[in-house]
Amino acid sequence: MKNKYSIFSLIKNAFSQHENWKQAWGNPEPKKEYEAVIVGGGGHGLATAYYLAKKHNMKNIAVLEKGWIGGGNTGRNTTIIRSNYLWDASAGLYDHALKIWENLSQELNYNIMFSQRGVMNLAHNLQDVRDLKRRTHANRLNGIDAVWLDTKQVKEFCPIINISQDIRYPVLGGTLQRRAGTARHDAVAWGYARGADAMGVDIIQNCEVKGIKRNGDQVEGLDTTKGFIKTKKIGVVAAGHSSVIANMAGLKLPLESKPLQALVSEPVKPIIDTVVMSNAVHAYVSQSDKGELVIGAGTDAYISYTQRGSHDVVEGTLKAILELYPIFSRMKMLRQWGGIVDICPDASPIISKTNIKGLYFNCGWGTGGFKATPGSGDLFAHTIANDEPHKLNAAFNLNRFVSGDLVDEHGAAAVAH
C-alpha cells in the first residue's frame, strides 16, 4: 500500500499539522475499456472490486457510482452485524462475512471500528420464544455462537430494558450472539475504496449508468453519463435501483424497492453497550461512538424510490422504543432519513449469474445487507471471475425463483417485512 497508516505515519503527519495526508483514492476519468465494471460504489460494490483485484488478479476494473461512494444505503443503515440466521445456506453466507469482519481493519489497514458488542434479539410472545429457541439450536449446529437468555438474563445483559410483564408486549426472553456487533459504515466503504484504488481499480464517482449494450446474449458495455464504456463483464450492485439497471438489459428481477428508515437521537453519555433488536414490536437500538442512539424503523409498505419514508412508520417504532426503554422518553431525535432497499420474496439475497452472458447481479439484500458487506463482495467477486458461484452463494442464485428452492429467512430477518 502506498501510504500505510500507522502510529509512525500519524506522528510524522502531526509535524506538518496533518496537512500533507495523501488522498486515499483517486478521481480518474473512465477508460475506454475494462475487464470488468462494477455498477454501484457502495460497500458491496467496492468490496467486490477489492476482492476481484486481490484474489482474482483482475486489476483493469472500474467501479461506477452515480453519486459519491458510500452515499447510498452504506451510509444510511444502522450498522448492525450478526450471523444468527436460521437456514444452513444463510448461516454459511453471513458467518463467512462475520469471519472477514473480525480481521478487516488489519487487512485493509483502515480502522473500520468493528465492535463485537453483541446483538440481542428479543421475544415478546410464545411463538417468538419457540422461533428464537429453534434458531439458537440451528445456529449452534452451524457453529455460530448463540445463547438463549430468559427475561432476568436479558435484564442483566441490558439493564435499561423494561421487563415489566404489564406492558403491551412483555419481554419473554431473547437470544444473544456475542460475536455480533457494529462497525463504522462510512469507514467500510472508504477502507475498501482505498484498498481497491491501491491495486489499480478506477473508482469513478458521479457517473450514472444509462443503458446496457448487448450483442445477442452477451454484454458489450455500458452507456453512462461519462460516455460509453466497453466491457465483457458487468457486476451490478445497485441495491434499491437493481431493477432499474435490470430493466436496461431487458431483465426482470423478483424485487420490490421500498424506503427503509432510520433515525438518530441527540448524543448522550454511554447508556446502552450492545445492540437490541425486536422483531415483534419492530424496534431496534444501539448507541454510536458519538453517543447518538441509532434507531432502525421499518419499511413503507409500498414501492417507492423517494429516500424519505413515512412519518407513521417512525411513530410506530418510537412507541415501541419508549415502552421497552422508558428512560429514553425525554430524548430528542436529531435526524431521520430513508434508504431504498430491494426486497426479495424470500427475504434472502441474490448473488448470481443471469441468462445474459457477462451480466451478474448482487441484490435483494433487503433491510439487512450491511452485515454481509465483506462476504458479499468476496463471493460476488468469485462469481464474476469464475463465471460460477462459490459454494457459499450457490443457493442464492436467481434460478431459485423458478425451481422453488427458496431460502425463506423472513423469520430471521430481525424486522418483519
Partner 1 sequence: MFVINCPYCGERDQSEFSCGGEAHIVRPKQPTELSDDEWAEYLFMRKNIKGVQFERWNHAHGCRKWFNMVRDTSNDKIHAVYKIGEKPPVI
Q: Does 27 bind partner 1 (CB under 8 A)?
A: no
- Closest to partner 1 by CB, 42 vs 254, is 254
Question: Is the CB of residue 262 less than 8 Å from the CB of residue 76?
Answer: yes
User: What does DSSP say about strands 283-287 and 293-299: parallel, antiparallel, or unpaired?
Assistant: antiparallel
Q: Is 259 helix (H, G, I), strand (E, B) or coil?
A: strand
Whether the CA torsion 122, 328, 370, 103 is positive or negative: it is negative
Give the burial string for 205-227 (b: 16+ CB within 10 Å, else e): bebebeebbbeeeebebbebeee
Q: Does 255 bind partner 1 (CB under 8 A)?
A: yes
Q: Does 225 bind partner 1 (CB under 8 A)?
A: no
CB of 146 to partner 1, least distance (A): 31
- Closest to partner 1 by CB, 91 vs 260, is 260
> Cα–Cα distance between 206 and 225 in angstroms, integer?
8
> Cα–Cα distance between 146 and 411 in angstroms, integer?
16
Q: Which span (46-54, 215-223, 229-237, 306-314) binds partner 1, by CB under 8 A?
A: 306-314
Site string for partner 1, 338-357 (x = CB under 8 A): ----x--x------------
Q: Does 247 bind partner 1 (CB under 8 A)?
A: yes
- Which of 4, 18, 22, 252 binds partner 1 (CB under 8 A)? It is 252
> Cα–Cα distance between 103 and 101 in angstroms, integer?
5
Cell of 28: 480518474
CB of 310 to partner 1, least distance (A): 4
- Which of 141, 244, 334, 416 binds partner 1 (CB under 8 A)? It is 244
- Closest to partner 1 by CB, 149 vs 245, is 245
- Closest to partner 1 by CB, 185 vs 241, is 241
- Which of 195, 254, 366, 411 binds partner 1 (CB under 8 A)? It is 254
Q: Does 401 bind partner 1 (CB under 8 A)?
A: yes
> Cα–Cα distance between 278 and 103 in angstroms, integer?
28
Beta-carbon-side half-sphere exposure of residue 341 (alpha carbons within 13 Å) = 30
Residues in contact with partner 1 by the rule CB under 8 A: 241, 243-244, 247, 252-257, 300-306, 310-312, 342, 345, 401-404
